[in-house]
Chains A and B, each alone.
Chain A
Amino acid sequence: MIQQVENPALELHNVTVTYSQKPVLWNIDYTLPAGKLVGVIGPNGSGKTTMIKSIMGLIALNSGYVKIFNKNLSELRHRVSYVPQRGSVDWDFPASVLDIVLMGRLKTHNLFKRFSKEDKEIALECLKKVKMDHFIKRQISELSGGQQQRVFLARSLAQEADLYLMDEPFAGVDAATENAIIELLKEMRTQGKTILVVHHDLQTVREYFDWLLMLNTRLVASGTTEQVFTPNFLYETYGGKLSILAQVGELVKEKSHPLREKF
C-alpha cells in the first residue's frame, strides 16, 4: 500500500538506482507529507542508505526523479540537511566539537570568509539543544558514541533546514542519548520540519514515527504507521528478498545490462 499526498515535502518518482551495477532500488515511487517524523525501515542491504544518498544527489539515478518541496535539490540545497552515518567519518580528526558544528553554517557565499558572530551564536544554541554546550572545546576523538551523534545532530540543526535526512542516528547510542534525540526530533516536527530517519529498531517504530517507508529493494509500503506497520507488510519487508527480483538483479549485474532503454 502506498499512500500518496498532495504538496509533498519529498517526492520520488519511479526511482531506480544501481550500485556496482546491481540494482539496489527498484522503481521507488512515493510522496511524503511535510511536518512528519518519517521512519525508513528494511533489512540490511535493502537500499535505505542508497535512497538517502540518491535524494541528496550523491548517487546518480538510473531512472526517475526526486523532487523536494516540488523543486530540484540544486534549487534549495540550503533547505535540506543530511546527517550521514557516524561510522562514515574518522573521529581521530583534529577538531573540537564547536569546529564541527560550525560547519553546518557553511553556505556557498561564506566559504572563503570567516564565520560571523551570528553563526557562532547559532552553533552554540544548537549545542545547547542537544545538551552538549559544556563540550564545545572538547576534542571529537574523546567523545562517546552518543556524544558523537549529538554533535552530528547539532551540526544538522545549525543548517536551519526544512527537510532532514538522517541515516541511522540511533545506532550504537546509549538510551539517554536516544531519548534526548527523539525528544528533539519531535520538537522539530512541531515546528513544521520534515524529518526522514533510517531506523533499525522495530520496537520503537510505533512510538517514534507518524509515517513509515518500508523498503526491501522495492517499496513495500508507504503510509501512516497505523496503516502500514502491520504483520503482512512486515513479513513482506523482512521475509527475504523477492526471489525472482533478486535473480533478475543478479543477471543485470552479470551482463551489465541497462535498466532503461535509450533509443
Chain B
Amino acid sequence: MDTFWIILTGILVAACCSLLGCFLLLRKMAMVGDAISHAVLPGIVIAYLLAQNRDSLPMLMGAGVFGVLVTVLIETLHKQGKMQIDAAIGVSFTWLFAIGVILISLYAGQVDLDQDCVLYGEIAYVPLDTWNIANREIPRTVGILSILLLGIIAFIVLGYKALFVTTFDEVFAASMGISTAFWHYALMSAVSFTTVMSFEAVGAILVVAFLVGPPSIAYLLTDNLRWMLVLSLLLGILTAITGYYLAVWINGSIAGGMAAALGVEFGLVFLWAPKYGLFFQKKKKIQNMF
C-alpha cells in the first residue's frame, strides 16, 4: 500500500510541475523557477518553527510568499540596482538558500528538516503523516498536492488565452490592455506554492527537474501548446513511475531516480524525435544538400 502512496505523490508532484513548467519554458524563465525552488527554504523553516506541527497550511502559504519575493528581489536588483539579470538571479537565490541552511542549523532540534531532506527530499516518509478523510487514512501530502493540482488545472484552463497571449507576445498583450504583471505574478505564485508543497517529497532540485524536464521533452515533440501541456503531463506521470522503480532497483533516493529517468527520456527524444530530434535534423540537412 505504501508503494501506491509514494508513487501517487510522485505523480502529483510531477503533474503540478510539468503543467506550470510549460509556461516557464516558453517565457524563458526556467532559471527563475530554479531560483524560486531554492528561495522558499527559509520560508519553510520559519513556517515549521512557528507552526510546531506540520499541519499548518497557512504557514506553508507564508513560505510560498518567499518564492514570489525572490522574483521581486531579482527584478529590483536588475531594474533599480542595474545588475545583469543572470547575476541578479544567482545572488538572490543563493543568499536566501544560505539563510535557510543557517536557520536549519540553528534550530536543528525543533525543525524536522535536515540538509539531506532539503536537497532531495524523502518521499518514502510521505505515507506516515496522514489525514483522515471519509474514514480512510490519506497521507497529508497526497491530499494537499491533489488540491493543488486541481487548482493548477483550473488556473490553466481558465487563464489559457491570457497565458497564451502574454507568453507569446507580451507587448501585443499589453497594448490590448491585458495586465501582463498580473499573469506573471500569478504564474510565479503558482510555481512557488507548488515548490513548497513538493519540498518534503522531492526537495528543491528535483522540483526543477519536473518543472523543466517534461516540458522540454514535449516541446521537442509537438507544435501545439495544448498538446505540449498534455504530453508534458503524461511524461511527468510516466517519469514518476519509472523513476520509482529505477530507484528501488538500485536502492537509491526515489527523487533521484525520477530525475535520472527524465534524463534518459530527454536524451532519447533529443536524439530521435521526429522533426526536432538531432538525427532527423542532420538527415534533413544532408537531404537538402542534394
- Chain A interface residues toward B at CB < 8 A: 53, 56-58, 74, 77, 80, 82, 84, 88-90, 93-96, 99-100, 103, 106-108, 111-112, 139, 141, 155
User: Does B224 belong to the interface (CB within 8 Å)?
Assistant: yes
How extensive is the interface on chain B, given as a class?
Answer: 20 to 34
Neighbouring A residues of B171 by C-beta, 8 Å: 53, 58, 82, 84, 88
A sample of 28 cross-chain residue pairs with beta-carbon separation below 8 angstroms, ordered by A number, consists of A53-B171, A56-B174, A56-B175, A58-B174, A74-B177, A77-B175, A82-B172, A84-B172, A93-B167, A94-B223, A94-B227, A95-B164, A95-B168, A95-B223, A95-B224, A96-B224, A99-B164, A100-B168, A103-B165, A103-B168, A103-B169, A106-B161, A106-B178, A108-B177, A111-B178, A112-B162, A139-B224, A155-B172
Bound complex: CA of A206 vs CA of B165, how far in Å? 36
Neighbouring A residues of B165 by C-beta, 8 Å: 103, 106
Is A141 within 8 A of B223, CB to CB? yes
Is A84 within 8 A of B169, CB to CB? yes
Given contacts A58-B174, A94-B223, A94-B224, A112 and B159 within 8 Å (CB-CB): yes
Is A58 within 8 A of B168, CB to CB? no
Bound complex: CA of A86 vs CA of B1, how far in Å? 55
- With A103-B168, A103-B169, A155-B172 known, 8 other A-B pairs at CB within 8 A are A56-B174, A82-B172, A82-B175, A93-B168, A94-B222, A103-B164, A106-B176, A106-B178
Bound complex: CA of A112 vs CA of B172, how far in Å? 18
Identify the interface centre among B162, B219, B224: most chain A CB within 10 Å of its CB: B224
User: Does B158 belong to the interface (CB within 8 Å)?
Assistant: yes
Bound complex: CA of A65 vs CA of B2, how far in Å? 66
Bound complex: CA of A139 vs CA of B175, how far in Å? 24
Bound complex: CA of A261 vs CA of B237, how far in Å? 60
Is B161 within 8 A of A93, CB to CB? no
Identify the interface centre among A53, A89, A96, A103: most chain B CB within 10 Å of its CB: A103
Is B222 within 8 A of A77, CB to CB? no
Nearest CB of chain B from residue A244's CB, rounded to whole Å: 28
Bound complex: CA of A155 vs CA of B168, how far in Å? 13
Residue of B nearest to A165 (CB): B175
Neighbouring B residues of A100 by C-beta, 8 Å: 168
User: Does B156 belong to the interface (CB within 8 Å)?
Assistant: no
Neighbouring B residues of A89 by C-beta, 8 Å: 168-169
Neighbouring A residues of B177 by C-beta, 8 Å: 74, 77, 108
Is A94 within 8 A of B161, CB to CB? no
User: Does B225 belong to the interface (CB within 8 Å)?
Assistant: yes
Nearest CB of chain B from residue A91's CB, rounded to whole Å: 10
Question: B216-233 CB contact bits vs A (8 Å, 1 = yes)?
Answer: 000100111101100000
Question: B167-207 CB contact bits vs A (8 Å, 1 = yes)?
Answer: 11101101111100000000000000000000000000000
